[in-house]
Structure 1
Amino acid sequence: MANRELLNKHLLSLIKYFICLLISFLSTSVYAKEIIVLTVNGVINPPHAEYTIKGIQKAHEQNAEAVIIQLDTPGGLDTSMRSIIKEMLNSQIPIVVYVSPKGARAASAGAFITLAAHIAAMAPGTNIGAAHPVAMGGEKMDKTMAEKITNDAVAYIKSIAKQRGRNIEWAEQAVRKSISSTETEALKLKVIDLIADDLNSLMKDINGMKVKTARGEVTLNTKTAKINKIEMNFREKLLNFISDPNIAYILLMIGIYGIIFELSNPGAILPGVIGAISLILAFYSLQTLPINYAAAGLILLGVILFILELKFTSHGLLTLGGVICFILGSIMLFDTANPLFKLSLSVIIPVTLVTALFFGVLLRLAYKAHKRKPVTGVEELIGLKGIAKTDIDRHRGMVMVHGELWQAVSDEEIKKDEEIIVEEVKGLTLKVRRAN
């Protein structure tokens, strides 16, 4: 009896042990939280801001363990940067910014975003800094305005650094003097929290770290978390693609070509449709980019000069003026003080040459049309082909030309159903010959 009770106790203990193992397994696999991984590669612009904010919001909806932003950027627009940082500072979920892969950078706006993270990490061979604000729109700022913008940026980055417990002095100098640091220097200066070789190393390093979010202190558990990489959707990729200054410029030119070609050849339809779509896409891009309106005026003047060349004979002077306006306007179109928004000469030169060629072809066609003798009425029949409906000789016959029956004569005998060509129109009679 005692042996049986002892056996039952051992069996009960074994069952409890297996139940605990099962609960542990379920908690670490089925109910393991996710880590959302976002990739921001390129200029910080509205599409990147929308993508990042949506990713953070999705992490909140899914109650994710954390959000990791893999960052590689030369900088970008202040408004887009601030909208991302605002979402980060108010996040209830830990945000980790990881400057990667090797060779990546977090410059300008990227430095602000990295400092705003709960945990800032960098891969080997990366750098951070150079956050001095640059004027948008191509205009040169006066000293007072430049000072106001710089002071505003300094106050902003200092408040971020203070909130995240980072090096405030370094943050200020990154804006005022555009200083930049390598990953080892940044770690030593307490600008970032750690250096990680790759994403897996980062996951191991941040496991167990405590961070202060909008909902209070959170201890990260990345050991059992699953990685969920979220890519840009098609819309975001498209908008990000056309936000490139070179793409915006090409779309603008295609739009101009298409509309002018449609106006020159009413009814062509396809050029007009392509032109209209390209212009709409270009206008979206241009509203997100710093435009120099004087440069836009030069491009418009260039188009006007090309059109005037079609109307008046200037022996190429108007075309030359248009080419010069195009080149100057293209070089100055976007903010020249900021290298992020410079147009590439490898784009400007081909587009200008294609533009000159395009209007040159239109000019040639217009010249030929001007020189061609006007043809009206029945004279249009000369040179057309038709079919002999009867035998034709010098005296009489009938032909079908352009869907109409005509009396016809010929210097040679033509049999019925033979193909003919109209040589001359004499009143209501056509003089024809055998086509072959």
Structure 2
Amino acid sequence: MKTFRLSLYTLFIFTSIFMLLLPPQAESGGEGKLVYYVPVEQAVERGLLAFMERSFEQAAEEGADHIVLEVDTPGGFVDAAGRIASLMNNTDIPITAFVVNEALSAGAYISLMADNIVMMPGTDMGSAAVVDGSGNAADTKSQSVWLARMQDAAEKNDRDPQFALAMADPGINLPEYRAGEGELLTFNAREAFEENYAEAIASNREELLEYLGLENAIEREMEVSFAEQIARFVTHPIIIPILLSIGSLGLVLELYSPGFGIPGFMGLGALFLFFFGHMVAGFAGWEAFILFGAGVVLLVIEILVPGFGIFGALGIGAIIASLVLGSADTMTVLTSIMIATVVAITAMILLFKYVGFKGPMKRFVLSESTNTEEGYVSSETRKDLVGTLGEALTVLRPSGTALIDNERLDVVSEGGYIEQGRKVKVISTSGSRIVVREMDDDLADDGS
């Protein structure tokens, strides 16, 4: 019996040692793994880049095992797409682009930069021509750079680059995919899967995770904060000139309004949104705010204490510098400033024509006049002479000299030629101006 117990004890020890020496078994179905969902929605611009930077940073801090980009975008701006691509390249976390509606233009490029592409049924990817701010085809240099980027993105994951090039170059003819001459290639989900431009087709997140082998993973969804929503809106290149135009128009209207009212708050509010959005997006710092505040103070000094335009010029320069310093793209903000300047000048011309000078603008313009109603006269008006008869001492053509009430005076005829020696009658006086009219001798003798 003692020998049997010893044998069992020995077997237990050896079994325990054997179990400890076995390699750890992988957790089934991705259990314990962490998946981050990051929405890539609306236009691709710098605001989206700032949101994705925060998302990737948070995913890395929490030890995420996979990032899923849920793509639904019509495209956007090349520079923002390029920076997002760099962000994706610089992370060690595997990335899957999950196309939930459309991945067009810059959205297609971002999807191609992911490690995997999974598309929902009925979704599209492609149509990635690069255009300028007016919607026209970009110049040859920009086109060449964009085509190179699309090709590199395709080759990154061993995809046939001709399809990526056909998405961006209408000169590539692929009629089997509705991409005839002059048309851009756009894949639907089935076509993308057949040409290895999508690794799988999934109807929902569950099917996506099943394909990735992460069906039991912990899911975490990133959400765009309210501040980031504002930032994405106000940093859009189309919105920037509108904001600056509203800002300049509001401040111009305030110059014509007594006190500080709605136009002033409208102008300052638009400029505050510009700086707030760019600060949230990470483009502007407190130095831009401080410089803008200094510019406003200098303009107020110019209004209250005229300094021959020195304070005004410095203030305008400080405001322009703050806008450039706080922007993501210098050319965009300079163009926006030019548009806002045109709007402000137009508003000032219209207000000057139809409203006149009111409010603080009255400080810049001399509006008082030296008229008789205000008690100003250039010389004494001889109203006592009106109706008095006299004689032209010189020829009046129409001005000359007349003897009126035994006093030699400079006079002007009513409009006609009056010979010397003719009888005249004073009909009006205004300051030193005495107007006379020729009288017939008979009427003069009668004293009429």
TM-score (norm 2): 0.55
Mapped to 2, the partners of 1:307 and 1:47 lie a distance apart of 34
What residue identity is the alignment partner of 1:151?
A: S
Change in Cα spacing, 1:94 to 1:133, as seen in structure 2 (3 Å) is same
Q: Note the C-alpha offset of 1:267.
A: 3.1
Q: 3-state SS of the aligned residue for 2:139?
A: helix
Larger radius of gyration: 2
Aligned partner (choices 177, 182, 185) of residue 188 of structure 2: 182
Q: Which moved more, 1:105-114 or 1:4-13?
A: 4-13
C-alpha RMSD of matched pairs (Å)? 4.2
Mapped to 2, the partners of 1:155 and 1:224 lie a distance apart of 39
Q: Note the C-alpha offset of 1:165.
A: 1.1
Change in Cα spacing, 1:118 to 1:140, as seen in structure 2 (3 Å) is closer
* Alignment match, 1:429: none
Q: Is the 8 A contact 2:248 2:340 kept in 1?
A: no
Mapped to 1, the partners of 2:336 and 2:236 lie a distance apart of 18
* Alignment match, 1:51: 51
Aligned partner (choices 252, 270, 274) of residue 278 of structure 1: 270
Q: 3-state SS of the aligned residue for 1:38?
A: strand
* Alignment match, 2:303: none
Matches within 5 A, 1:323-338: none
Change in Cα spacing, 1:113 to 1:256, as seen in structure 2 (3 Å) is same
Q: Note the C-alpha offset of 1:11.
A: 12
* Alignment match, 2:166: 173
Q: Note the C-alpha offset of 1:260.
A: 2.5
Q: Is the 8 A contact 2:81 2:110 kept in 1?
A: yes
What residue identity is the alignment partner of 2:35?
A: I
Change in Cα spacing, 1:272 to 1:27, as seen in structure 2 (3 Å) is same
Q: Which moved more, 1:159-168 or 1:246-255?
A: 246-255
Q: Is the 8 A contact 1:41 1:72 kept in 2?
A: yes
What residue identity is the alignment partner of 1:179?
A: L
Q: Note the C-alpha offset of 1:70.
A: 0.4
Q: Is the 8 A contact 2:129 2:168 kept in 1?
A: yes
Q: Is the 8 A contact 1:45 1:288 kept in 2?
A: no
Q: Note the C-alpha offset of 1:259.
A: 1.2
Change in Cα spacing, 1:125 to 1:288, as seen in structure 2 (3 Å) is farther
Do structure 1's residue 122 and structure 2's residue 119 form an aligned pair?
yes
Mapped to 1, the partners of 2:12 and 2:129 lie a distance apart of 69
Superposed CA offset, 1:221-246 (max 9, x none): x1432111111233322201223567
Q: Note the C-alpha offset of 1:87.
A: 2.0
Percent identity among equivalent residues? Answer: 24
Superposed CA offset, 1:246-281 (max 9, x none): 754654454244313321235326642441231243
What residue identity is the alignment partner of 1:39?
A: P
Matches within 5 A, 1:313-392: none
Q: Is the 8 A contact 2:108 2:125 kept in 1?
A: yes
What residue identity is the alignment partner of 2:132?
A: A
* Alignment match, 1:235: 227
Superposed CA offset, 1:88-145 (max 9, x none): 2232111011011xxx110111111111111111111110001111123x3967xxx7
What residue identity is the alignment partner of 1:124?
A: P
Aligned partner (choices 140, 143, 146) of residue 139 of structure 2: 146
* Alignment match, 1:62: 62
Aligned partner (choices 304, 308, 319) of residue 345 of structure 2: 304
The count of corresponding residues between Structure 1 and Structure 2 is 294
* Alignment match, 2:83: 83
Q: 3-state SS of the aligned residue for 1:173?
A: helix
Unaligned runs of 5+ in 2: 171-183, 279-322, 357-366, 375-448
Change in Cα spacing, 1:30 to 1:296, as seen in structure 2 (3 Å) is closer
What residue identity is the alignment partner of 1:306?
A: A
Change in Cα spacing, 1:189 to 1:35, as seen in structure 2 (3 Å) is same
Do structure 1's residue 134 and structure 2's residue 131 form an aligned pair?
yes
Aligned partner (choices 150, 156, 171) of residue 157 of structure 1: 150
Mapped to 2, the partners of 1:228 and 1:96 lie a distance apart of 15
What residue identity is the alignment partner of 1:157?
A: M
Change in Cα spacing, 1:174 to 1:267, as seen in structure 2 (3 Å) is same
Q: Note the C-alpha offset of 1:175.
A: 1.1
TM-score (norm 1): 0.57
Q: Note the C-alpha offset of 1:38.
A: 0.5
Q: 3-state SS of the aligned residue for 1:105?
A: strand
* Alignment match, 2:209: 203
Superposed CA offset, 1:177-201 (max 9, x none): 2211101111111111111101111
Unaligned runs of 5+ in 1: 208-221, 319-368, 377-436
Matches within 5 A, 1:22-37: 32-37=32-37
Q: Which moved more, 1:183-192 or 1:88-97?
A: 88-97
Q: 3-state SS of the aligned residue for 2:36?
A: strand
Q: 3-state SS of the aligned residue for 1:312?
A: helix
Q: Is the 8 A contact 1:47 1:236 kept in 2?
A: yes
Q: Note the C-alpha offset of 1:296.
A: 7.1
* Alignment match, 2:72: 72
What residue identity is the alignment partner of 2:212?
A: I
